[in-house]
Structure 1
Amino acid sequence: MAALTWYRLDNVGKYYSAQAGSPNQAVFRLTAIMADEVDPACLQRALDTTIALFPGFNVCLRNGAFWHYLVPASTVPRVQADDLPICHSLHVGPQSVLFRVSYHARRFNVEVSHMISDGRGSLEFLKALISSYVAERYGVQSAPPVYHGTEETKTEDSFAVNYERHLAGATPRPRGFRLRKRKSRKQTDYLELHYSAGAVYAAAKAAKVTVTSYLIAAIICAVRTSMPTAKRNRAIRIDVPVDLRPLFASTTLRNFFGLACIAYTPGATDEPLAAVAAHVQRQLIAETQPDALKRRMMHMIRLERNPFVSFVPLPLKDVALGVAARKAALDVTCTVSSLGRMVVDPAVTPYLRGITLLSSPTNANFVLCTYDDDLSIGVSSRLADDQVIRNLKSILSDEGICGQVINPKDHQKA
């Protein structure tokens, strides 16, 4: 079958493509922590192999009359030393490839533009790259990651494929308490918090909630502690991306997620963490019901397909989307993404020590990912201070969960 010559952006990709050329592009950074120093020659060969399986990642952005679109890059990018700022902009011109692979010491990183994929899709790419790297570096053949689908289904716009106009409906959202951000949007702090997955699971089980609900509640409590008394009647609003692939039996690697909204108003009295976690879990269950997810997803697509919106010239559309993005960000306290537990072939495990994820934030993002007994919380922040992060560490410590704090900048080439 002939390779595709161009790709449509999905619904979310169109939204993020309005950032093209901006220093504030949405980028994921996924890091594999290996047992030994990374061999760049082996990593390059592994990347060549992986791109052959995932050609939809090796693309550049182009401008149409009404929408941006993607075209295959002419060559596979070269792996490079990790010496750029974390989540550095990927699109700077028409030849810019929308992903990057870098390495330093025992780590290699895949940075992916949100224009082409979400965290779940990017994680599948990383898993395949790890498997290929272990084969190149150690001669160990592992079973390829289980990810079924043709090139067409891996690169399909699953929003469009599953659109049913009659299901669309708006969902009212509360305005969230706003954490104070830095005046400069260029300065971002990145941290990795590493905890024993077993210890966090035990604490969540004792509270009779899931790990995700428990950690979202801990983050809410961390924000609550930093709120001025006069503002404790404002809701702490957490946006939680939800993978839509299982709901629609999709194998796309492009963006395909919805947003669950968790809102909690502290009031005058502090509830214990377990009680907050129970509130969170009830809301998560309601927000992730299929009918609720479908209603919000269809509403989002219906807005995109509005004839007035569709035929607005691209430059005006980019300006409007940028304004809408900034306005939406004002209503959100922070974002928490949970990628769950990463499973790799047993042949790979002796060579892989950990996985961590970061994303470029509008205010503060927390990305949860577990590998073996390492539960990583990737923290990305443009906040004016680190009070919320310090509060989070203290809250978990008070619950008997002590971990390690790593600054990923310390693991980059100087």
Structure 2
Amino acid sequence: MTVIRNLAAAMVLGIVVNLLPTSKATAAAITFKKIVDTTSSPFNGSYPELFSPAINDSGRVAFIAEDETGRGIFTSNGGSVIKITDTINSSFETIGNPAINNSGTVAFRAALKGGVLNGVGPGVGIYTGNGGALNTISFNANAGSFLVSQPSINDSGTVVFADNESGDIYTSKNGKLTLIANGNGTTPVINNQGTVSLVLPGASLVTRNNQVTTTIADTKSSFTSLSGDGSPLNDQGTVAFLAYLNSGGQGIFTGNGGSLNTIADTNGAFSTFFDSPAINNQRTVAFWAFLDSGEEGIFTGSDPVNNKIIATGDQLFGSTVTEINSFGLGGLNNRGQIAFGASLADGTKGIYVATRAVPEPYTVTSSGLALAGLVFFKRRRQRRGKGAGGREYGE
């Protein structure tokens, strides 16, 4: 009779578990949040153009808004919008792409008003701000246009940038500039360990921390050229980069000084990669690409279906995505959130954040649990013995 009861309990356990999700559950859903769009804003009442989003780990996004009267840098998490600066109420003629750290500090380059004569003046600087007064990191009074690279900033507030005229790359912390390398006019990127990724003359992509230089990739074998738009690196020193192949086409790769890992290339479903990829501390890589079939989108791997975040033709906030407007090296945070710009069929343009839900790990099958139940009952019965007076006892 006891055996029958135990067997029945194990069978019930198996039936109950059969009702639970299994390890073959479908891929986790992706949710989307609107940060801002062209329907309304505090910037002259509208945002005809929105682009260059960068996101920190709290989900705050720095972006550029532009209309016929000027351009500004703002931050928002989908609620209130904070203005960092603009060209309407400042001495800036032009403003470049923003970078943002986890304290909400934004770094950017800007050229002063006054025109340029023979490529000289009135000056270009690197600045930081979080909604109050701006901090000048560096200023070159003789530089014109954007002869300074887009900056990168880490959580300690260290900024890295390049003088694209001389190729010199500097870091700045607590008001002190330090020359760390001479590059080839590309955009350097810094992580929270103070390691900088850069491209040296001769087209070698390296990381440098103090006097330690690690070669990630070069053009001596597989690659004809490496993207100069910036190669982001995570806090473990793994670099994600876009490269052009000797065999033709492009690819997105990662490396940390050893063998390279191919994330995606144009030998498969992708025809073209745009801008720099992004990488986080979980080694997720996100990139903007066109497909052979004509669609464009944001992806995290070589499978355009299972690794898709968003693409043209997808539904978004009651309309259809018609174009991806922007995504870059600051577009992925350590929570796996992706910030991007897109145009919709209803005429609006916006900055959005995609979040992929993490599925619960179900690794034990129902039959396995049922079998485990039988084994448990059997072992429990075997461990029972006789006590004083002939009574059974158990654990």
Q: Please state which band the TM-score falls in when normalised by the shorter chain.
A: under 0.3
- Tell me the TM-score normalized by structure 2: 0.25
Greater share of helix = 1
Q: Which has the higher contact order (CA 8 A, sep 6+)?
A: 1
Greater share of strand = 2
